[in-house]
Amino acid sequence: MKRNPTLFLKEGYEELVKKSLDWKLRILETGSTPHSVVDGKEVIMLCSNNYLNLSNHPRLIQAASDAAKKYGAGSGSVRPIAGTMKLHMDVEKKLAKFKGTESSLIYQTGFAANAGLIPQLAGKGDIIISDELNHGSIIDGVRLTKTDRAIYKHRDMGELEKVLKDADKKYNRILIITDGVFSMDGDIAPMDKIVKLGSEYGAMTYVDDAHGEGVIGPDGRGIGAHFGIAGQIDVEMGTFSKAYGVVGGLIAGSQNLVNFAYNKSRTWLLSGSHPPAVAGAQFAAIDVLETEPEHVKNLWDNTKYFKKELNSMGFDTGFSETPITPVIVGESSKAKELSNLLFDEGVFALPIIFPMVARDKARIRTMMNAGLSRKDIDFALEKFEKLGKKLDII
């Protein structure tokens, strides 16, 4: 058949544009700072994952630059061949100590950790049980397995237990996977209860704490510390690309987990290791969390103030318990309009629309930043109030 083999590229893209589902990239002309210049406009940044503003911390910048000067721009290899530097090992040791686990392992990204590790933890004859709102990188990791799957209703422990009861007789290994902090709603998985159910039914527990690390728990130690169960979750997975302000995935758990993971994870074995600058900055990020508690404190002070004020204006902020605060507006078109108007007024926050959330739950997802002043937050709140009234949301 004489076909046009690449026609789908053009058609696929045009279809997205027609439905307004294509990503229109906003370009940062500054670093990712609390006041950023985006598409030529100065804005208050309310949609970066850089919660603690660590990406601009002088100690991280210095550490990145020192490491690059001393050890070069690249690592030269994948970790198992010649790409494991002492710098990488130092970060892993420091991280395990920080998280209260026996050991830890750094992946290139959080996505690479989920895609590389999950497929090794369960196979034929096993089952993976997931919260219905888990992140796409978990879903892709699960797709790479030949294992059976079950999904429980969001944070519904009754339903999880029902699935576990049923699975107990039928399967060999059972793996429960959940996000720690859910990225669309900002609520927290009941990890203490999940760990308890896991131990009752002999199931392994895996939490993706990408939005919890550096944010929840004392000094931002993450979800294990938050619930007082550090070291009891079989796999605490996370990322350096959000609150830690750098880039890179991580897992923390037992030495057995780490030995197994680095020998089996294909993303870890077959992809280059982090450049020295990245490892240097990661080390400094943990060090800053250990020695400068003000960043986590500022983040939470800002978060509480912002939520309280939004609620008193009459906005619906859903079930959030974290610095991710959704401002629920209803229709997708309204969420988009609000986001555009906010941007014009100098506030940068993106809309989250169907199919990412339910059709009538379109929202602006705001993410708080420790580096914003009270004046900045008041400025943003004033714009939310003005435009919320204009669009009949409040």
Ligand X SMILES: *Cc1c(COP(=O)(O)O)cnc(C)c1O
Binding residues (CB under 6 A) for ligand X: these are 109-111, 135, 137, 179, 183, 208, 210-211, 239, 241, 249
- Shortest reach from residue 300's CB to ligand X, in Å: 19
Quote the CA–CA distance of 222 and 250 in Å, as a whole number.
Answer: 12
In this structure, are strands 324-330 and 362-367 parallel, antiparallel, or unpaired?
antiparallel
Comparing CB distances to ligand X, the nearer of 246 and 381 is: 246
Six token digits for residue 131: 């919260």
Q: Is the dihedral of CA 282, 134, 353, 222 positive or negative?
A: negative
Say whether 271 is catalytic.
no
Give yes or no for a contact between 124 and 280, defined as CB atoms under 8 angstroms apart.
no
- For residues 164 and 223, which CB has a smaller minimum distance to ligand X in the complex? 223
Is residue 183 part of the annotated active site? The answer reads: yes
Beta carbon nearer to ligand X, 147 or 267? 267
Tokens 């089996």 found at: 264
Whose Cβ is closer to ligand X: residue 232's or residue 239's? 239
Residue number with CB closer to ligand X (183 or 338): 183
Closer residue to ligand X, CB minimum distance, 180 or 388: 180
CB under 8 A, 24+ apart: contacts of 155-163: 155/131, 155/187, 155/189, 155/190, 157/190, 157/193, 157/194, 157/197, 160/129, 160/194, 160/197, 161/197, 163/129
Which positions ≥6 away from 43 have C-beta within 8 Å? Answer: 35, 36, 37, 343, 346, 347, 348
Minimum distance from residue 386 beta carbon to ligand X (Å): 31
C-beta of 114: minimal distance to ligand X in Å?
Answer: 6
Closest approach, Cβ 144 to ligand X, in A, equals 15
Residues 67 and 57: beta-carbon distance below 8 Å: no
Catalytically annotated residue among 48, 103, 183, 241: 183
- Min CB(182)–ligand X separation in Å: 8
194 vs 387, beta carbon nearer ligand X:
194
d(CA 81, CA 155): 41
Cα–Cα dist 368/323, whole Å: 5
Q: Classify burial at 256, counting beta carbons within 10 Å of its beta carbon; exposed 0-12, middle 13-18, buried 19 or more.
A: exposed
Residue 25 C-beta: closest distance to ligand X, Å: 17
The SS3 call for residue 188 is: strand
Cβ atoms of 176 and 160 within 8 Å: the answer is yes
Q: CA-CA distance, 215 to 213, in Å (whole number)?
A: 5
Quote the CA–CA distance of 27 and 32 in Å, as a whole number: 11
137 annotated active-site: no
Residue number of the CB closest to ligand X reads 110
Given the residues 88, 135, 242, 295, select the one marked as catalytic: 242
End-to-end CA distance of the chain: 58
Token readout for 370 is 């420790």
In whole angstroms, the minimum distance from the beta carbon of 366 to ligand X comes to 15
Q: Which is nearer to ligand X, 211 or 295 (CB)?
A: 211
Shortest CB 219 distance to ligand X, Å: 20
* Catalytically annotated residue among 57, 88, 135, 211: 211
CA distances to 33, 47, 68, 90, 200 from 284, rounded to whole Å, are: 18, 24, 14, 11, 39
The residues assigned a catalytic role are: 183, 211, 242
